[in-house]
Every structure is written in C-alpha cells, then in structure tokens.
Amino acid sequence: MAKWAIDRSITRILRKIGILGFNKKRNIYGINPFLISTSYILLTLALAHLARRLVEKYVDDSKETIKNLLFEFIATLELCSCCFELIIDNWGVFAYAIYLLLLTIWWSSKWGNASACPYAPVEEILEGNRCLKDALKIICTQLAAAFLTFRYIQILWSFELVETHMNKAYEECTADLQVDMISGAIVEATLTCFCRLASKILGETSLKYSNIVDAIFGTLMVVAAFNFSGGYFNPALATSLKFGCIGNSFAEHIVVYWIGAFLGSAIAIIIFNSNIVQNKINTCKSKEE
C-alpha cells in the first residue's frame, strides 16, 4: 500500500513538471516527446564518441589520411543526426537555439581537426595548406555521411515512440527557404562570412572561453537567418536535411546553400588576411603580452 502511494506521488510530481501526462496511445508511457528527442540526441553523441574512441584505438597513426577521413565522417554524421532531431516545428526556435549552442560547445571540444563542413578544406586550399585532391576526399566523405544520416534517423523515427515521430520516417520534407534564391544566397553568404570571420579572429586571441563566445555568436546568426534561409551555413548539413525537399529546386539548393556558403567563407578569408584586420590582431596580441 505504501509503495503504491509513493508511486502515485512520484507520478503526480512527474506530471506537474511535464515529464509525464501526455497521450499514452501516441507517446510511450505518456512521456514528454521532448525527452525522447533529447534521448536520441544523447544516444547519437554517445555513439559518435564511441566511434571516435574506436578509430583512435584501432587505426594506426601511420594511416593518418584514413584516420582523418573517418573522423570527418563521424563528425558530419553526428552533426546532421542531431540537427534532424532538432525539428523547429516541434520545439520552436528558442529550444533549437539553446540545444544548438550546447551541442556546438560540446563538438568544439570533441571534434579535434574535423570540421564536418565542406568549405573548411576549401579554405585550406585558398590559404595554401591543402591540395585539391585531399580537399575533394574530405568533401566526398562529408557528403557520404550527410546522405547516410537520414537512414540512421529513419531507424530511430520508425519506432514512433512519441507523437512527434509519427509518420516522420517516410514523410516528404519541406524547404526552409522563405525568400527568393538570390536573397537566400546573400543571407547564407553574409552570415557565413560573419561566422567564419568571428571564428578566425577568436582563434587568434587568448580569450579563455573563446569557443563558447564563438558558439554563442554562431547560434545568434542561425536564429537571425532562420526565417529567411533556415540558417545552415554548412553545405553538408543543408544537403542532409533539405536536399530534394518540396519547395526547392536543385538549382536553388546549390546556389543558396553551396555557392552562398562557399562565397561567404572565401570573403571571410580575404577580410581576415587584409592588412587592417591583421594589424588590429597584432596590436591586440602586443597589448596582451
């Protein structure tokens, strides 16, 4: 009798704080769908972390190229999978922004040299640090992971544990582009440029929490672009989530999410390497010393 009373009290508390109390026919045990989505994200992070550990352990350092490509594959799959679960329509922009911020901070401490973003190796080409052949290998690896992501997500969604996953595994997706193609490309290019410029400048400082500042700035840019282009700033991510979706033609997708992002990235390099910016960075470094 006492155990039954305790169980009822616990259930009542869980209902009050929003963990339980949802439709049991559409949500397993009446659990809040948000918690299941969070669990899927945590599962993905754990699997990616395990995969990285296995690569570190079993792939010899002499096979550096293969090792780096595997890290890129894991990082891209991890990024795209988590963003698939952060469906704006379900939880709103605020929840999306908070989760994206926390995830970005986590990834900045776990990915190492992996970028999960196709314009990163192209930036290295422009700066003379990578050859075209190696860059293409990385981009192809990232795209392979991006396209494979939905198969992984389909498995999770097909269990339909909660109402927000009902029919999601096989339904048609819709485009996020809310403006014309050129305007969308300008938005992606401009804010990608801001993000890359901020990252590069912060990377040159001795700021203790530069990764957190960078994550906050990037998240704000995503929120700013949300009602225009969706705010992807990453061709692999945009391709994984929105390629072939209703409302976007092939040309629109390429121009907005690929050309736009690559252009913004290239402009960021030009600005960053300009005498004005470099002199300012050197002045700040001298003051810090």
Q: What would the pLDDT profile of 244-265 be if each residue is shown by its tens digit?
A: 999 999 999 999 999 999 999 9
For residue range 77-114, list pLDDT tens digits in order. 999 999 999 876 677 788 889 999 999 999 999 999 99
Calpha distance 20→27 (Å, rounded): 10
Which domain covers residue 159, as residue numbers? 25-171
Same domain, 52 and 111: yes
Please identify, among 132, 154, 171, the residue that sits at the C-terminal boundary of a domain: 171
CATH number for 248: 1.20.1080.10
Please identify, among 139, 171, 203, the residue that sits at the C-terminal boundary of a domain: 171
Asked whether residue 216 is assigned to any structural domain, the reply reads yes
Number of domains in the chain: 2
Calpha distance 101→80 (Å, rounded): 15
Same domain, 96 and 198: no
Same domain, 63 and 40: yes
Asked whether residue 226 is assigned to any structural domain, the reply reads yes
Same domain, 179 and 285: yes
Same domain, 132 and 198: no
Same domain, 84 and 133: yes
Amino acid 10: pLDDT: 45
Please identify, among 171, 193, 218, the residue that sits at the C-terminal boundary of a domain: 171
Same domain, 32 and 164: yes
Asked whether residue 2 is assigned to any structural domain, the reply reads no
Same domain, 36 and 165: yes
pLDDT < 70 regions, the chain:
1-29, 88-89, 286-289
pTM across the whole model: 0.89
Amino acid 13: pLDDT: 46
